[in-house]
Structure 1
């Protein structure tokens, strides 16, 4: 699994002050088709355009959902990178096949690290190399899972929530067996690439946590629920919990 947030960070390796969390609703039975296209055809082109493809995942509880994250060096860098990629030859060559798998691709949260150093540390993270015209191996299961929790906050409470999470909740999580990989809050800057919509008027805190197995996550949830220190005060609706399995080419969760 990736380096936890309580380890000493390497600033040059911290991925992206601006991050998109994207979830796609796919046509039934089309998830592995999209993953094959994405992992073998679309990663390199996006990174050549100036993005960091942080992680791609199968949702363990929703068989037609594909979740992924990509990062940028800032809002202007995001605008330029997206323009370069979506106006370039890689997307032109593969967009029809990718779009044919999707029902909806507009569910996107625009995020920034919740505190200094809360982004992903990708130091040493590498993808398996792919030969030309070779697809990633999808039939080899990865036992680890990544859990994303989305806390919907009242406006103006995000700084206090992030501070309490960093000082109180994160140590409790890690002592209960979780590997906290990153934490984010909503980036409220204007969408710098309107061609791709993001969810407006959101106010969220997101944690990204790694576990060695689904059983380890279940034990962690039971331990956390029993702790009097665990509190989710000030939420506007129930916390979303996504249990995710990384694809073979994901940098996060391997």
Structure 2
């Protein structure tokens, strides 16, 4: 683990043209990942959305909002990498605006792994990441308190460990070339499963837990403005989170 903190996180969820996701994954892992990190970003992970063959998700972190602006300018406006590969990347894309700008809750930042497979890696890891996006209908501090003291003990009782917890970063998006979702307040938490089978076992156990079913889940529903969005994510060959 690294000691550097990366408290600005983009959760980027792209819609791609049919049958182009593997093209995008290969291009990103081979050509687009390392140059961004060389400029000062941290690519935590990139994933195939298991529920939509035309969706691709990636996580990009920065040390500050000012650093984010400099990295994005350097990569998208000034780098030879983007000039060379932008056309190929854009040819896969339908919509890239489903992006949440986030900051971690105190002590709840995702782990930043120091190593990842090299750019020629092709083996897919068995692990699965899951991101759950809530739109609380109560102040975020109240919702976070319920999550930590009501939900987490039950999650842990069935072996589900929150890996990171985030809320909306309120700073304005100062790189307008890459739009984000604005005007909404979210709470996002991440967890990891060893593989897809473990995910099924643990989520089934959660759904059958009496405390979850009779108390926590009904109370959670009362705190939400809309139903949550659950992203079931399969890491690519070079994803750091796996």
TM-score w.r.t. the length of structure 1 is 0.87
Q: What is the distance in 2 between the residues matched to 1:177 and 1:136?
A: 30
- Greater helix content: 2
RMSD across aligned positions (CA): 1.7
Out of 179, 185, 189, the residue aligned to residue 171 of structure 2 is: 189
- 1:136 is aligned to 2:121: yes
Written as runs of structure 1 = structure 2, the 5 A alignment for 1:1-254 is 12-14=3-5, 16-87=6-77, 88-113=79-104, 115-123=105-113, 125-130=114-119, 135-137=120-122, 140-154=123-137, 157-225=139-207, 226-229=209-212, 230-231=216-217, 232=220, 233-253=222-242
Offset at residue 38 of structure 1 (A): 0.2
Distance 1:11 1:169, change over 3 A: farther
Alpha-carbon shift at residue 84 of structure 1 (Å): 0.8
Does the residue aligned with 1:173 lie in a helix, a strand or coil? Answer: helix
More deviation in 26-35 or 166-175? 166-175
Deviation of 1:168 after TM superposition, in Å, equals 2.9
Q: Under a length normalisation based on structure 2, what TM-score does the superposition of the two structures give?
A: 0.91
Question: Residue 129 of structure 1: CA displacement?
Answer: 2.1
- In 1, distance between residues paired with 2:43 and 2:112? 11
Q: Is the 8 A contact 2:124 2:235 kept in 1?
A: no
**Deviation, structure 1 residue 11:** 7.4
Aligned position for 1:7: none
Q: Give the number of equivalent residue pairs.
A: 234
Write out per-residue CA displacement over residues 10-61 of structure 1, whole angstroms, 9 at most, x where no aligned residue.
77154x1110000110111100100000001011111111110111000111
State the 1:174 CA deviation: 2.5
Q: Secondary structure at the match of 1:169?
A: helix
> Aligned equivalents of 2:124 and 2:2: distance in 1?
32
